[in-house]
Amino acid sequence: MQPDDELTSYLAALAPQADVETTASGSFGNAQVYQLRLQLVANEQLKELAAERQTSPQALATEWVMQRLEWEARQRGM
């Protein structure tokens, strides 16, 4: 059975950072992992929206970033 690189990247992105105060980013396979700091109010909003959509806050934030990148590319004619 072939390793599932997408699943591996997803699980790596969900793994807690060893030091929550670090601003380091890393890469896993063909994915880059970024740490995102949100104000407490924004974090609660993200959690609530994710729960309503039956997904994780990380998955919802990733979806939004991907949608925005697609929109930006269309605006630039890419």
Q: Which of 42, 46, 10 is nearest to 28 (CA)?
A: 10
pLDDT in tens, the chain (78 residues): 666 777 777 777 776 655 444 445 666 678 888 888 999 999 999 999 999 999 999 999 999 999 999 999 999 987
pTM: 0.61
Cα distance between residue 41 and residue 5, in whole Å = 34
Taking the CB of residue 12, how many other CB atoms lie within 10 A of it? 14
DSSP 13-61: HHSPPSSTT----EEETTEEE------HHHHHHHHHHHHHTTS-HHHHH
Cα distance between residue 25 and residue 28, in whole Å = 10
In this prediction, residue 5 carries a pLDDT of: 73
